Amino acid sequence: MKKILVIDDDPGILEALKMILDLEGYDVFTSSEWKDALTLSKTKKPHLIVLDVLLSGKDGRDIAKTLKSDSKTKRIPILMISAHPGVEETIKDYGADAFMPKPFEIDQLVKKIATLLAQ
pLDDT at 85: 77
User: Per-10-residue mean pLDDT for the chain, 119 residues long?
Assistant: 96 95 97 92 96 92 96 96 89 94 93 96
Give the Cα separation of 108 and 93 in Å (integer).
23
CATH number for 43: 3.40.50.2300
- Looking at residue 84, its pLDDT comes to 86
pLDDT of residue 59: 94
- Number of structural domains (the chain) is 1
Which domain, by its residues, includes 95? Answer: 3-118
Does the bond joining 77 to the residue before it have cis omega, within 30 degrees of 0? no
Distance CA 84, CA 118 (A): 28
Reduced to 3 states, what is the DSSP secondary structure of residue 60?
A: helix
